[in-house]
Structure 1
Amino acid sequence: MQNAKLKCNFTETENGFFDDSIEKEAFIWYEENWLHDDYEHLHQRAQLTFVTEGYQYFHINDKIYLVPQNHVIWVPSLQKHKITSEAKTVKLMVTLFKNIPENQFYSTTHVFPAPPVLKEMILYAKKWNQETAENDEQKTFMNALLVSLPNFCDENTALQIPLPSDMRLLEVCQFINLNYQQNHSIDELAETANLSTRSLQRIFKKETGISIKKYAQLIKILKSIELIDSHQFTLSEIAYKVGYKSLSAFTSSYLAIMNAKPKISKKILF
């Protein structure tokens, strides 16, 4: 990982395109302190990333996908993406698949929590980390994992942050992201966009598929996930830091978005 032109045993043959000469069907790369180029790139192989500690943001087309701890993201072949994170520590496993089953599932991006069976399968595959020689057990095992993925997928679309194309709305999104601790009225946000309140609400919903109020709530919860990951604050402290007046209000909002109550998890040791 020291060479900026080499990632996961891929070589950057031209700006943003990574090629590999590995013949094996599935190549596995485990990284304890992940550092990734924060520019758009793509590769021929499809990618399954499992975050064991920390979190990652995947920027793909008009969305940003948050992949928290114990979640996976499926990125189709030749899909342009870039990855960012402000987590102090990021541990993850990347599996790159050469041949993909003919199923609609594999042609689109998915983010979902890894159920116990999938998690154990991914962690078991760590034994083949960075091996380039073909292995009969690995080939059979990873193929079983691959074809089972659609059955494991319980996608949480709340982890997808929609990005509008209208520059006026982008300014509003940036304002919300920078001031997520505060609760701004629709009138204040409309003034930022130089739009009427009604126009802002209508255009924002049309471009993103969610209301501006929902977007602000989503940003608060995603920021809280970052703070939970830091292991520096209690849930009550996090609730206040992201702009909620009580832990109960934060918990209700978190539950509505994530379909689970917030909790401080233990760090994973390998």
Structure 2
Amino acid sequence: MNSKYYLTEVDKNPQSIFCYHNLMGEKFIETHSHDKGQFIYVEGGVVHIKTNTRMYYLPARHYMWIPSGVRHSIYPSSPKVVMRNLYFPVSSISSVFYSKEGIYPINNLLMEMLLFTKTWNGDILKSQKNKHLIVSSFKVLLEQTVSKSLHLELPHPTDNRLINITNYLKDEIHQEHLLPQLASKFSMTDKSLYRLFKKDVGMSFIKYYTQLRIFKSLEYLMNSDYNISEIAHMVGYSSLPTFSNTFSNVMGKRPSEYRKSNEIYLDA
């Protein structure tokens, strides 16, 4: 789908709710924004959503709310990923929920309503009373059924030294990296590197590095035939129990539970 869709079709009718389902096989969706707020739900993998300040990791069976006007690009981790999108007009009196970026697990009620709309594409107008009632109710339920937003994002570093260091961590994710050795490699002291992480990205090295490893493991869990022990080693863990416990602490579920989310309900 080219940029014309994202820049013109969604917002062509400011009052409509715009539906677009089954974006499958996409490799990259360029940076863009909408006048409408965007609901994006993912099946079958992980989608990276990059804003000006953060990289979000949106896993299967979760959705993200992207407020009106937020510039973002989208990187599916696999051609197998399915994305379901609903774009809503957002009035100035909308609640705080619709003004903040957030990632949330989907519940059964929202899932059933979303699947009910899976054959709808394009504008849903108020004159289409039955359809409009369903998608309008869907928007209201987002706020009323929402749980706490999951922190599945990493901030973009701005300091060139930290940009190089975090790129190195991503490239060498299969190895375990300790702060002293990492600092030495980049000609820094332990304390200066620790302070740089806290100052530039607002979190400690260990928190940033742990989340980076766990978020990367999501891609392997969703899109590969590697077993969980192999995946643990692929993100630098020598101990499977340590990986599993860390994953559970970050994600709230065991790796095996997340792997079950790889089914795609195209025909549900």
Residue 203 of structure 1, CA deviation: 2.2
| 1:126 alignment partner, one of 118, 124, 132 | 118
Counting matched residue pairs gives 261
Residue 41 of structure 2 corresponds to residue 25 of structure 1: no
SS at match of 2:74: strand
Superposed displacement of residue 201, structure 1:
0.5
2:80 to 82, 86, 89: 89
What letter is aligned with 1:25? S
Task: Give the one of 141, 150, 153 matched to 1:160.
Answer: 153
Asked if 2 retains the 8 angstrom alpha-carbon contact of 1:54 and 1:88, the reply is no
Query: Is the aligned partner of 1:179 residue 2:177?
Result: no
Offset of residue 39 of structure 1: 3.0
For 1:42 and 1:180, locate their aligned partners in 2 and report how far apart those are by CA, in whole Å.
31
Query: Deviations 1:184-214 (Å, cap 9, x if unpaired)?
Result: 2212222344332101101211322221112
Q: Which residue of 2 aligns with 1:139?
A: 132
* CA 1:219–1:71: 2 relative to 1, 3 Å: same
- Decide which of 96, 100, 105 is 1:104's aligned counterpart: 96
Any conservation in 1 of the 2:25–2:78 contact (CA below 8 Å)?
no
Q: Once the two structures are superposed, what CA deviation does each residue of 1:59-99 show, in whole Å capped at 9, x if it has no partner?
A: 11211001111110101111111111231311111001123
Match status 1:223 vs 2:221: no
Offset of 1:48 from its aligned partner?
0.4
For 1:19 and 1:146, how far apart are their aligned partners in 2? 16
**Could you list the runs of 4 or more consecutive aligned residues of structure 1 that deviate by over 6 angstroms after TM superposition?**
none
1:116 has 2:114 as partner:
no
Q: Secondary structure at the match of 1:201?
A: helix
SS at 1:164 equivalent: coil
Query: What SS does structure 1 have at the residue aligned with 2:176?
Result: coil
5+ residue gaps, structure 1: 12-17
TM-score (norm: length of structure 2): 0.89
**Structure 2 counterpart of 1:71, from 62, 73, 76:** 62
Q: CA separation of 1:159/1:129 partners in 2, compared to 1, >3 Å: closer, same or farther?
A: same
The 8 Å contact of residues 37 and 83 in structure 1, kept in 2 or not, is answered as yes
Alignment RMSD: 2.1
Match of 1:158, SS state, is coil
- 1:250 corresponds to 2:243: yes
Match of 2:187 in 1: 194
What's the TM-score once normalised by structure 1's chain length?
A: 0.88
- Aligned to 2:60, the other structure's residue is in SS state coil
- Counterparts of 1:258-269 in structure 2, within 5 Å, are 258-263=251-256, 264-265=259-260, 266-269=262-265
What do residues 96-151 of structure 1 show as CA deviations (whole Å, max 9, x unaligned)?
11234521111110111112222222112224233555421121121211122123
Tell me the residue number matched to 2:50.
59
Q: C-alpha separation between the residues in 2 aligned to 1:156 and 1:256?
A: 15
Q: Equivalent residue of 2:157, what SS?
A: coil
Q: Pick from 140, 144, 149: which aligns with 1:151? A: 144
1:42 match: 33
Does the CA contact (< 8 Å) of 1:56 and 1:84 recur in 2?
yes
- Identity, % of aligned pairs? 27
One-letter amino acid matched to 1:237: E
Q: Distance in 2 between matches of 1:36 and 1:43?
A: 20
**Which region of structure 1 is more displaced relative to structure 2, 92-101 or 56-65?**
92-101
Report if the CA contact (8 A) 2:10-2:18 is conserved.
no
What CA distance in whole angstroms lies between the structure 1 residues aligned with 2:87 and 2:216? Answer: 29
- What letter is aligned with 2:41? F
Query: Equivalents in 1 of 2:77, 2:47: separation in Å?
Result: 8
